[in-house]
Structure 1
Amino acid sequence: MTRPTSIAITMGDPAGIGPEIIVKALPAFAPRLASGELELVVVGARDCFGETAKRLGQAGFDLPSIDRSTPRAGRAVFLDAGQAAQPIRPGTTSAEAGRLAYRAIEEAVRMAVAGRVDAIATAPISKEALNLAGFHYSGHTELLADLTGARDSAMLLLHGDMRVSHVSTHVALAEAVKRLTPQRLRRVIEMTLDVLRKLGIEKPRIAVAALNPHAGEGGMFGREDIEVTTPVVAQFRDEGHAIEGPVPGDTVFVKLRGRRYDAVVAMYHDQGHIPVKLLGFSVDPKTGQWEALSGVNVTLGLPILRTSVDHGTAFDIAGKGIANERSLIEAVDCAIQLGAGRG
């Protein structure tokens, strides 16, 4: 009998919506858990999940507990990464919440590196809380790279056919320009090609977005697209890859949505995030409230598989019981698919 695919789900910042969307998402996986196809290991502070279940009107959070030495269980189980030393208030940034979020990630990474889980799917963290707790990272991607010893990594956002990787993410715009080097661009393209193949696309088509307006307009608006991007793209084309670029940023995502490409390599955080989130976030026009959040964040270049929700901690709605679990379900599904692609 084939063993189940095992995914660890980390709770994220316990003052955010992470515990809530995990509790809400678990029933969606019941058929695969029952059939033995899937094992889920929820990693976090059990007392935070108990409080969340109580707020949601459930009898309790009763997943059976495991510890570091427990073998694969073939069901939904819970690994307690540590209890809160002081009360966690929903929607409030604190060092204690940051500490608990870090501990959950650390435990999940340890399990993935040891091969006890096939991938991890993460709920959102607060970068401010993480830094208050003394863990000085600019985000999940950088933290995971450090924990796994990865020499470089990159972020990929997915929403349906919209797949966007990034040359840089959580840095100032001036720093993003400095980080566009031939070596970095080539590495991100290689990682993007790799993940597209794992997703079942045999001959990926990629567009590299321009850094500057109109791809620099012949050098009038900067020379990075001419001196860095153009030669790198030419190298990949010479190697037989279907790659275009630099493609102006104001049209490249329209072409991606029209399925001319399978993915876009974006130059910096907002260039890649805005189009994906614009399509993935559904808003009620009458109330202005988010109805659903769709999309997945994948970290490329790690020795483990990691996916995540494509949204933040949503402190403004934390504790109200109205958070939507759709993105987390998609993140777990994507982790399963990538695991099969790697195999």
Structure 2
Amino acid sequence: MNKPIIAVPIGDPGGIGPEIVAKALVDPIVEEGAACVIIGDRKIMENAIKITGASLEIKIIKDPKEGDYRKGILNLIDLDNIDMKKFQIGKIDGMCGKAAYEYIEKSIQLANNKEVAAVATTPINKEALKAGGINFIGHTEIFGALTNTPDPLTMFEVRDMRVFFLSRHVSLRQACDMVTKDRIKDYVKRCLEALKKLGVTEGNMAIAGLNPHSGEHGLFGDEEVKHVIPAVEELQAEGYPVVGPIGADSVFHLALQGRFNSVLSLYHDQGHIATKTLDFERTISVTGGMPILRTSVDHGTAMDIAGKNIASAVSMVEAIRLAVKYAPNFMS
């Protein structure tokens, strides 16, 4: 078998994760390109197969070496951590939050041990995590802690456009305060190293402007003058392939046209709006700066539609496809 093995934790059992996993496994892109090991609960996946009507047979395995990667086989590491007498689909539940964490934990263990080439994650619920006594706000923080990576990088990829984020889940006021010369320099260096790990070595990274028209030389906002431009100039002097600032109203379009190999978005929504407006379902998150590869859907648990067989698996398929694309760079 020459297909890379991708670990897929099923996410919050009460959400759409199990359904989109079942649907993705019977998609031709996944069937032909990946050997998937699902980490979850057998009872939940049996229910997901029933809901979706996916033509799958569950094979319980203890490790990836035991897998049968032929079409129609769902290779499952069963953690057996859901009490179906208490389980309610579509409900936020601490039991499900704790279970979701355990699926992720097992997936990371497999990746750390080189038993799988990558992890492609499904949605989890922050409230359920908290209710389950899990003191992490989300996937990125969990992966950072369990791979000993102090500050993992978030990169979105959609249609070959790659976007990194200088800050994530902070207020807009805090995000503006985090636009400093030193932080930009540190992030650019680490982002370029992460790109190299993915096999992307050609082209320049562009820094998006923070203010309209990058502040027009300080006419409305001086962050570019005080921080962004000095950071770019110093990075260029050190030999790093970076340009900017380039107005956020055009930089993403230019990246999509191939002018840049990536963009550093200076705050969360700046890059999220650009990528998700382009193609919401195919915007995939890649966590960089870690010793292992993790890709992820970039949508939530959608509790309101869980169990109704209307959730799209496009993002799950794309997350697995991207894991397969970059996996060879992490398999040595």
Query: How high is the TM-score relative to the length of structure 1?
Result: 0.87
Aligned to 1:40: 36
Structure 1 residues 103-182: aligned runs within 5 Å:
103-182=102-181
Higher mean Cα deviation, 95-104 or 235-244? Answer: 235-244
Partner of 2:306: 318
Measured after TM superposition, the shift of residue 3 of structure 1 is: 5.4
> What residue identity is the alignment partner of 1:73?
G
Mapped to 2, the partners of 1:54 and 1:165 lie a distance apart of 38
* Contact 1:15 1:92 (C-alpha < 8 Å) held by counterparts: yes
Equivalence for 2:65: 71
Q: Map of 1:237-316 to 2, 5 A cutoff?
A: 237-281=236-280, 293-316=281-304
Once residues 135 and 178 of structure 1 are traced to their aligned partners in structure 2, the CA distance between those partners, rounded to angstroms, is 29
Moved more, 121-130 or 221-230: 221-230
1:94 is aligned with what amino acid? D
Higher deviation after alignment, 234-243 or 42-51:
234-243
Query: Is the Cα contact below 8 Å between 2:296 and 2:316 reproduced in 1?
Result: yes
| Deviates most, 221-230 or 14-23 | 221-230
Match of 1:6 in 2: 5
Structure 1 counterpart of 2:317 = 329
Q: Against the structure 1 CA distance between its residues 337 and 89, is the aligned structure 2 distance closer, same or farther, given a 3 Å change threshold?
A: same
Counterpart position of 1:287: none
1:65 is displaced (CA, Å) by 1.3
Q: Pick one of 80, 83, 100 that aligns with 2:81.
A: 83
Pairing 1:12-27 to 2, within 5 Å after superposition: 12-27=11-26
Matched AA of 1:23:
A
Distance in 2 (alpha carbons) for counterparts of 1:170 and 1:187: 19
Q: Which moved more, 1:165-174 or 1:227-236?
A: 227-236
Task: Give the C-alpha shift of residue 216 in structure 1.
Answer: 2.9
- Superposed CA deviations along residues 88-124 of structure 1, whole A, max 9, x for unmatched, are 3332222122111111001101111111111100011
Q: Distance in 2 between matches of 1:74 and 1:264?
A: 40
Q: For residues 36-91 of structure 1, give each alpha carbon's deviation from its aligned partner in whole angstroms, at most 9, with x where no partner exists.
A: xx4311011221111111122357x63211225x6363625211133213533332
Equivalent AA in structure 1 for residue 77 of structure 2: L
Bigger CA drift: 209-218 or 92-101? Answer: 209-218
SS in 1 for 2:35: strand
| 1:277-305 Cα deviation digits (max 9, x unpaired) | 11113xxxxxxxxxxx2221100111211
Give the 3 Å change call, closer, same or farther, for CA 136–219 of structure 1 in structure 2: farther
Ranges in structure 1 where 5+ consecutive residues have no aligned partner: 33-37, 282-292
Q: Aligned-pair distance for 1:164?
A: 0.7
1:198 Cα deviation after fit: 4.7
Partner Cα distance (2:180, 2:12) in 1: 34
Q: Could you tell me how far apart the structure 2 residues matched to 1:295 and 1:18 are?
A: 17
Instruction: Give the counterpart letter for 1:51 in structure 2.
Output: N
Overall identity of the aligned pairs, in %: 37
Mapped to 1, the partners of 2:148 and 2:240 lie a distance apart of 29
Aligned residue type for 2:41 = A
Contact 1:193 1:204 in 2 (8 A): no
Deviation at 1:308, TM superposition (A): 0.4
* Structure 2 unaligned residues grouped into runs of 5+: none
Instruction: Give 2:203's aligned residue.
Output: 204
Give the number of equivalent residue pairs.
324
What is aligned with 1:338? 326
CA–CA distance in structure 2, aligned partners of residues 108 and 102 of structure 1: 10
- Mapped partners of 1:249, 1:158: distance in 2: 17
Residue aligning to 1:289: none
Amino acid of the residue matched to residue 64 of structure 1?
Answer: K
One-letter amino acid matched to 1:42: I
97-106 or 135-144: bigger deviation: 135-144
TM-score normalized with structure 2 length: 0.89
Extract structure 1 runs of 4+ deviating beyond 6 A.
none
Of 217-226 and 106-115, the range deviating more from structure 2:
217-226
Change beyond 3 A, Cα 1:74–1:186: farther
2:194·2:289 contact (CA, 8 Å) conserved in 1? no
Q: Is residue 24 of structure 2 the alignment partner of residue 30 of structure 1?
A: no
- Structure 2 counterpart of 1:79, which letter? I
**CA drift at 1:179:** 2.8
Tell me the amino acid that sits aligned with residue 144 of structure 1. Answer: F
Q: Distance in 2 between matches of 1:17 and 1:8?
A: 18
1:123–1:328: 8 Å Cα contact kept in structure 2? yes
Q: In the alignment, which residue of structure 2 is the partner of 1:286? A: none
